[in-house]
Amino acid sequence: MSKSIGRYNSNSGIPPEYRYENDYRNIPQKYLKNNIPQGRKMIKWAPFATMPQQFEELKKLVEKQNRVPRPSLSEDQVVELNSKLLMYMNRPEECVIHVFNEGYIQSLKGIIKEVNAEHETLMFAVKDYLTIKNISLVDIISIK
- 71-87 residue pLDDT tens: 888 999 999 998 998 88
User: Are 81 and 128 found together in one domain?
Assistant: yes
Tell me, yes or no, whether 92 and 39 share the same domain. no
User: Which domain does 107 fall in, by range?
Assistant: 75-143
Q: Is the pTM of this model over 0.85?
A: no
Domain CATH number, residue 87: 2.30.30.520
106 part of a folded domain: yes
Helix (H) or strand (E) holding 94: none
Q: Has residue 2 got a pLDDT over 60? A: no
Q: Is residue 80 part of a domain?
A: yes
Q: What is the pLDDT of residue 43?
A: 58
Predicted local distance difference test score (pLDDT) of residue 38: 66
Total structural domains in the chain? 2
Q: Assess whether 124 and 84 both reside in one domain.
A: yes
CA pair distance 53, 60, nearest whole angstrom: 11
Residues 5 and 14 sit within 8 Å (Cβ to Cβ): no
Task: Please check whether residue 48 lies inside any domain of the structure.
Answer: no
